Amino acid sequence: MYAELRGGAFTRGGTFDISYVQTDTALEVNVKYYYVNATLFGTDNVLNRGPEAAMSYVETKLVNAAGKMAKLLGTDLFLDGTGQNSAIIQLDGLQHAIDDGATGSPNYTSYGGITRSDIASGANIGINGYKASATTLSLSALQTGYGSCWFGNEHVDLIPTTQAIWDILWNKIQPQQRFLEESSDVAKIGFQALRYNGSSIVVDQYAPTGVMWLLNTKYIQFWISTLPKYQFGFTGWKEAQNTDDVAGQYLFAGNMLVVAPRLMGQLYGITG
């Protein structure tokens, strides 16, 4: 939803403006596919067996596969998936979604099959997010970005960035103003988080250099296939032709969709 219906005050005998207003549109993204392969040498089964086995050979491979899949998706969700910073077969990530179509380079003039300028031009309008350069990060720049993404009771609730930028911000906040979260969801799963205006500022090791993201997680959707094999499923071990070796694949099919980019933003180009 990106536009308002017509309405206002009226007097007796007044007429209503009943002209049609296009108020919303549908965003569409393609399904993206990911795999992680695990291969086992058949001859290793001869040695690694029984109570004398050095380790659980299969288990360690599958744990590694799960970690690799998390890394692939965790990296690509910050990128674009348009062929500029990541391939078109990769996730349509935050770079693609949270943009205004004009600021910085690269910029993305369309998202979800919709040309941004067909709906509105400028930041925080239509499907345009807030995007601003902040070479030297300041609290005022952060607050301007935060405020630009604030509409009614909707506000940014998660601010992921790199360790370097997190440290810069930590040093800029006076000691008596630093609040480390201990009870939020991100803190519970291991993130070190600063509290800022009701938002969690966290370090993500896969976040791109120089960028601080302003996210409203209520409007970020992560879609996964209904087919069990592609819900982080495993194909099973298959013997390779002409060998005693086996291989299996860990699979994902889906994509990410940001349904309200105007409630989010990014500060980019941060170096100090």
The type of residue at 24 is D
The Cβ of residue 161 has, within 10 Å, a number of other Cβ atoms equal to 26
Cβ contact 146:114 at 8 Å: no
Query: How many angstroms separate the CA atoms of 143 and 149, rounded?
Result: 10
Query: How many angstroms separate the CA atoms of 235 and 111, rounded?
Result: 33
Cβ contact 202:193 at 8 Å: yes
Domain extents for the chain? 32-268
pTM value?
0.85
Q: Which of these CATH numbers, 3.90.1690, 3.40.50, 2.40.30, 2.70.98, describes 32-268?
A: 3.90.1690
DSSP string, 49-76: -GGG-SS-HHHHHHHHHHHHHHHHHHHH
pLDDT in tens, the chain (272 residues): 777 899 999 999 999 999 998 888 888 999 999 999 999 888 877 776 666 665 677 888 899 999 999 999 999 999 999 999 999 999 999 999 999 999 988 899 999 999 999 888 888 888 999 999 999 999 999 999 999 999 989 999 999 999 999 999 888 886 655 555 555 655 454 556 788 888 889 999 999 999 999 999 999 999 999 999 999 999 999 988 888 899 999 999 999 999 999 999 999 999 98
